[in-house]
Amino acid sequence: VASVQVQLVVPMAVVFGPGSVPGDLPRPLPFRDVQEMEISVNLRSSVTARYEMLYRSTTGQEEAALAAATAREADAALHPLQDTTLGSLTTYVVPETSSLLPQGINVYVGKHRSALVRAGGSLAALQARLREVTQVMSFTASSIAAALSDRVPDGQLSPDARRYLKSSLGYEITFSLLNPDPKSHTVDWDIEGAVNRYVKPVLDKLSLVANFSVDSQILYYAVLGVTPRYDKESSSFLLSAHSLPHVINPVEARLGSSAASLYPVLNFLLYVPERSHSPLYIQDKDGAPVSTNAFHSPRWGGIMVYNVEAPASPQASLPLHVDVDMARVMEVFLAQLRLLFGLSREEVPPEFLLESPGNEGLADWELDHLLWAHTVENIATVSTTLTSLAQLLDKIGNIVIKDDVASEVYRAVASVQSAVTELSLGHLHAAFQASKEAVTSSERAFFDPSLLHLLYFPDDQKFAIYIPLFLPMAVPILLSLVKIVRETRQRKKEPTKMD
Amino acid sequence: VCTSRFWFNYRHVANTLSVYRSVKRLGIPDSHIVLMLADDMACNPRNPKPATVFSHKNMELNVYGDDVEVDYRSYEVTVENFLRVLTGRIPPSTPRSKRLLSDDRSNILIYMTGHGGNGFLKFQDSEEITNVELADAFEQMWQKRRYNELLFIIDTCQGASMYERFYSPNIMALASSQVGEDSLSHQPDLGIGVHLMDRYTFYVLEFLEEIHPASQTNMNDLFQVCPKSLCVSTPGHRTDLFQRDPQNVLITDFFGSVRKVEITTETLSLDRDVAGFEPKFPEEELATEPLKYAEQLPVAQIIHQKPKQKDWHPPGGFILGLWALIIMVFFKTYGIKHMKHVF
């Protein structure tokens, strides 16, 4: 279990639309092909990716769907005809001259698990594009290496590889409204409605990955720890990028979190600045105001500043009533939630067009992306935990292992083996569930309170305890032994003397 | 962690609370601090100023204040609880504030003070923790990646012996005195009647007074604090297990909390005309039968329980061998004819 040898199998179907079949196919359609890619992590662990590709031509229904006017409609029509198992990919190849894809775009990635690819002339060019598609839609070497970041030697990792949320069985999300100036603003936010309308669909989609619990709170007289600077040109207050790290701590002391749950907490704060500091904008490193007026901290959460418009007449009665536009706020918070999980759309090649996932928050293939990373991370965590538990028990011989700890260990080993097997068969869902069970069992076994070892006796303490007890007792025994030996020797000499 | 109790160890509690104050001032919230104190100073009958703990003579600064959050107090400060907090092997009923919920990106500062000796640290005058146990606990933390980097500061007599046995990576250690030396206290206060602080911690706190959350002071300056002329003992430090050069390690990496932030540049586009999920009232969850008080402890069972039969194990080899030797020697020396007298 110490070395992680995992094979990630991605079942792929490459469907050729009419007029898109390249001339240099090695065999007539349909045929299967396998491509392997090695992602070596360190000396003992290695991950190989295996793309099992099935090349075939379109069925009649698929042809009809590909005849749609835009790529989005085609994608919607193709969705019921596809393989929807987690982890699988379907790519539809359209002719080079097809108008389905806009000019300059060679790949359209839909909301589900399919992509439309423009034929590249030869099979090799098509395969190069298909490789790019799999890099975007399933996993890349760097995303797998980031998931295994515990095992990768530090020098080889990119500096931000470890900033995404670690795989956990559950997450707690807390929405907080910070109102430092209740005398000037009475802020009303319909958080319950917003959670029902915008957040729940996203969390339902993510429910496969973990359990989520949501709470919300309003904090009064909670100030940011930093005083913003007044900028005459824009007549607004500015928070510069290098003062942002100091904003979070004074607030965190007041945020609180559920005493019962041990899941990682994600905090999303909405700050309504005081009247004397309005409007407040966040500046990025180049001094330009940020369009979202928000920033986030990896593994912690995000903060958004919500500016209240100055009242029409200066004599308006305070406090002003503020109705927060929850949709705008949730657009930012949900985007931050995606970024915290590592689902960013920034590193996509320019000729790709990605369909926006809409209210679901993330596309099916992004969910797969998370599941691949989390499954590999879980398997690596379980193997490290079990190995170190075995080393601990080897080193300290007198720890008693209770039966339930032993059964958790057996269960963890069985689950992790089944997870690896399922991955090599291409069943991502089953593999992920098995890896979650393995993590639960191994953590329960490792952190069992009965495994605490407090019995270290240094050698000089052992001597100090046993010598006063045994030395007086040993003196007569030793003397008697000496006497016995002397007597036996004498008796041996005597018979010869008697003769 | 303050490992002493009783009135004459006032200075250890003052040490710990002063470091606690500095760390809070530099931004670490209570939810990220585990404070273990015997907490018998402020309300001690011998305290002439009740509800206060002073760290400087002339009673300038009351470090007890009114927002101290002690997580383990009085008799809960034991070696076992300390090791449980570090390794995470905590009973499931422990609340969140008593746990160390760190992960592989957490930097941990551990400050311990009390009475110590060569290779051990005394806990509450009744038990001790050895340097080997501490090193093993840190190794357990490393195996589970419960820390990114760890700074260990100890202010006791012969403190350097406590960090001699560390073998896990990314640990930096500071101690107030070398093996064979005693750490001395700073100055007594005639109004309170005891020594208020230890020298090493006093000078460390003077150094920390000048640190603010954005300062760029590095660890090399902390190593220079309290030279022999001021401290009488020789402070020591150990950096060979640490991967970064101490020159590049900021004090605020451990004593303060400066987070990495990123500007959010992406937004999700949401369709606003979406009807929300109506929360369904789960009617089947309404209690249909009166709720009964659940028996927490089956008292009747416990009272009438018969004592568990302990399995009989034959005596071990060592005992058997020893007795066999004694009996054999006895009869060989004094002769077999004495057997009838024995029986």
Distance from CA of A455 to the nearest CA of B (A): 9
CA closest to B32 among chain A residues = A253
Say whether B80 and A453 touch across the interface (CB within 8 A).
no
Supply the Cα-derived Rg of chain A in whole angstroms. 33
Q: Is residue A336 in a domain?
A: yes
Say whether A245 and B90 touch across the interface (CB within 8 A).
no
Q: Domain B7-248 - what CATH class?
A: alpha beta
**Does residue A214 surpass a pLDDT of 90?**
yes
Same domain, A179 and A253: yes
Instruction: Identify the band that residue A161 occupies on the pLDDT scale cut at 50, 70 and 90.
Output: low
Q: Is B79 on the interface with A (CB under 8 A)?
A: yes
Same domain, A292 and A310: yes
How much is the pLDDT for B283?
Answer: 47
Distance from CA of A358 to the nearest CA of B (A): 6
Q: Is residue A433 in a domain?
A: yes
Residue matched to tokens 């094979």 = A7
Q: What is the mean pLDDT of residues A451-477?
A: 80
**Does residue A456 surpass a pLDDT of 80?**
no
Same domain, A389 and A404: yes
Q: What is the mean pLDDT of residues A248-271?
A: 83
How much is the pLDDT for A154?
Answer: 55
Considering chain A, what is the average pLDDT of its residues?
85
Same domain, A406 and A289: no
Query: Which residue, A341, A359, A376, sits at the end of a domain?
Result: A341
The pLDDT tens digits for A44-64 are 677 888 888 888 888 888 888
Instruction: Identify the band that residue A435 occupies on the pLDDT scale cut at 50, 70 and 90.
Output: very high
Same domain, A184 and A273: yes
The pLDDT tens digits for A16-33 are 888 888 777 888 878 888
Same domain, A310 and A400: no
Say whether B264 and A284 touch across the interface (CB within 8 A).
no
Structural tokens at position A263:
């899941």
Q: Predicted ipTM?
A: 0.83
Q: Is B279 on the interface with A (CB under 8 A)?
A: yes
Distance from CA of B2 to the nearest CA of A (A): 20
B331 vs A4, residue with greater confidence: B331
Same domain, A386 and A463: no
Residue A381: C-alpha distances to residues A151, A214, A375, A438, B296 (Å): 10, 27, 10, 9, 36
Same domain, A449 and A395: yes
**Domain residue ranges in chain B:** 7-248
Distance from CA of B288 to the nearest CA of A (A): 27
Q: Is residue A214 in a domain?
A: yes
Q: Is residue A326 in a domain?
A: yes
Q: Pick from A204, A386, A454 the residue to mutate for testing the B interface (most B CBs within 10 Å).
A: A454
CA closest to A388 among chain B residues = B143
Same domain, A292 and A321: yes
Same domain, A397 and A464: no
Q: Is residue A15 in a domain?
A: no
The pLDDT tens digits for A376-433 are 999 989 988 999 888 888 877 667 788 889 999 999 999 999 999 998 888 899 999 9
Task: Determine the 3-state secondary structure of A171 from DSSP.
Answer: strand
How much is the pLDDT for A159?
Answer: 56
Q: Is residue A278 in a domain?
A: yes
Query: Which residue, A307, A341, A375, sits at the end of a domain?
Result: A341
CA closest to B87 among chain A residues = A447
Same domain, A179 and A311: yes
Q: Is residue A174 in a domain?
A: yes
Stretch 298-337 of chain B: residues touching chain A, C-beta under 8 Å: 325-326, 329-330, 332-333
How far is the C-alpha of A261 from the C-alpha of B265, rounded, in Å?
Answer: 31
Q: What is the rounded end-to-end Cα distance, in angstroms, of chain A? A: 75
Same domain, A209 and A335: yes
Closest among A290, A38, A291 to A141, alpha carbons compared: A38
Domain ranges, residue A467: 458-494
A130 C-beta neighbours (distance < 10 Å), count: 23
Q: Is residue A30 in a domain?
A: no
- Give the A:B interface size as CB pairs under 8 Å: 178
What's A423's domain CATH number? 1.20.1270
Q: Identify whether B43 is a catalytic site residue.
A: no
Distance from CA of B277 to the nearest CA of A (A): 5
**Does residue A444 surpass a pLDDT of 80?**
yes
Say whether A332 and B83 touch across the interface (CB within 8 A).
no
Say whether B79 and A454 touch across the interface (CB within 8 A).
yes
Q: Identify whether B341 is a catalytic site residue.
A: no
How far is the C-alpha of A269 from the C-alpha of A94, rounded, in Å?
Answer: 46
Say whether A295 and B83 touch across the interface (CB within 8 A).
no
The number of folded domains in chain A is 3
Facing B279 at nearest CB: one of A196, A260, A284: A196
- Return the biggest CA–CA distance within chain B: 108
Facing B88 at nearest CB: one of A193, A358, A447: A447
Q: Which of B12, B56, B157, B226 is catalytic?
A: B157
Mean pLDDT, 10 residues at a time, over chain B (343 residues)? Answer: 92 93 89 91 90 79 87 92 93 89 90 92 91 90 90 93 92 93 86 88 90 89 89 90 90 86 84 63 55 68 69 79 86 72 64
Say whether B140 and A334 touch across the interface (CB within 8 A).
no
Contacts with B291 (C-beta within 8 Å, 6 or more apart), sequence order: none
